[in-house]
Amino acid sequence: MKLIVITGTPGTGKTALAKELSLLLRYRYVGQSEIVKKGAKGISEGYDKIRRTLIVDERKFSKAAVALIKALQGSKTPPKGVIIDSHISHFLPMKQVDLCVVTRCSSLKALKKRLEAKGYGTAKVRENLDAEIFDTCLVEAEEMGHKVLAVDTAWKSPKTIAKTVTKAIKEQA
């Protein structure tokens, strides 16, 4: 079973790409919230009132994701592949992951607009813009040793990007 993780700064188009890709490849889509809900207690370490988000432990998230993948593999009709969508999915072990797709948004103006449209406050917008400027997810994915494919979501539709990623996956095979 193939495993593709989609990671990137919030607002860069991870979910839109992951859902398009799962349709194109006929892979099972798994979002971060599914892993947090199905995982062991303690994955979420509380709620950050300022950022208005759950605080998720990366190691516990990774363990829960691996357990979910094993459960899917052992099911009566296992999927041919799984796509995990999370800004921390790059913390999954390299040996488990076939490809790590990092979404990027080369237009900070567009990213800021997306984040504001999600209702993010000024501090959270700034924090995520900084993460994008410093390539945080990309650098962390590379440090984890993943085979990385970075895609720019600023000017192309998720469907177009998914086709490009699908082509790259087929070329790897």
Share of the chain above pLDDT 90, in %: 82
For residue 62, what are its two tokens? 């990774």
**Closest to 20 in 3D by CA, of 141, 117, 157, 138:** 157
CB 151 within 8 A of CB 7: no
Q: Give pLDDT tens digits for 132-159.
A: 999 999 999 999 999 999 999 999 999 9
CA 14/CA 86 separation, integer angstroms = 7
What per-residue confidence (pLDDT) applies to 41?
Answer: 66
Domains and CATH numbers, the chain: 2-172 (3.40.50.300)
Residue 120 has pLDDT above 70, yes or no: yes
Q: CA 66 → CA 22, 29, 126, 134, 151, distances in Å?
A: 18, 14, 32, 28, 25
Q: Give pLDDT tens digits for 32-42.
A: 989 988 766 67
Q: Give pLDDT tens digits for 64-99.
A: 999 999 999 999 999 999 999 999 999 999 999 999
Q: Give pLDDT tens digits for 81-90.
A: 999 999 999 9
